[in-house]
Amino acid sequence: MSARPGGPLPARTRAVVVVYGMLAAVGLLGTWYFNLSYRGSDGSYLEAWFANAAGASAAVDVIVAATVACIFYAVEGRRLGWRRRWVLFVALTFAVALAFALPLFLLLRELQLARRSTSASAPVQAPSRHTG
């Protein structure tokens, strides 16, 4: 199997892409279900993150992980030649959720790497010589 544009992906790549896709969907639906359900009466949404020690621990965990993910988006996105596309994932991390943006980034990264791997291993045709 090859990862040529429009062609089938190797089984391992296909499995990883499906898992990342499912996790992105769960991250989107799970976080936004609770975001839309939040009905805080006193204080802001972000203040609620730090309402108790357990929430504060989880909040710091997510904030640090989101910061690391944003650095990863920039470094890896540039390495992949995505110019500024990585900025979209930074925005999605804070506007939607890290649980959505990171698996989506990894899904697209996996597809890009599969395409590169296939194009690098594709046979190169020698230029034809025409006699005139």
- pLDDT tens for 50-84 read 999 999 999 999 999 999 999 999 999 999 999 89
- Backbone φ and ψ of 39, nearest 5°: -130, 55
Domain that holds residue 59: 11-119
Cα 5 to the center of its chain, rounded Å:
20
For residue 5, the 8-state DSSP code is T
Contact 103, 23 (CB under 8 A): yes
Is residue 87 one of the residues assigned to a domain? yes
Q: Is residue 102 part of a domain?
A: yes
**Residue 69, domain member (yes or no):** yes
Report if residue 2 sits inside a domain. Answer: no
Spans of the chain, pLDDT less than 70: 1-7, 119-132
In this structure, is residue 126 part of a structural domain? no
Map residue 66 onto helix, strand or coil.
helix
Query: What is the domain count for the chain?
Result: 1
The pTM assigned to this predicted structure is 0.81
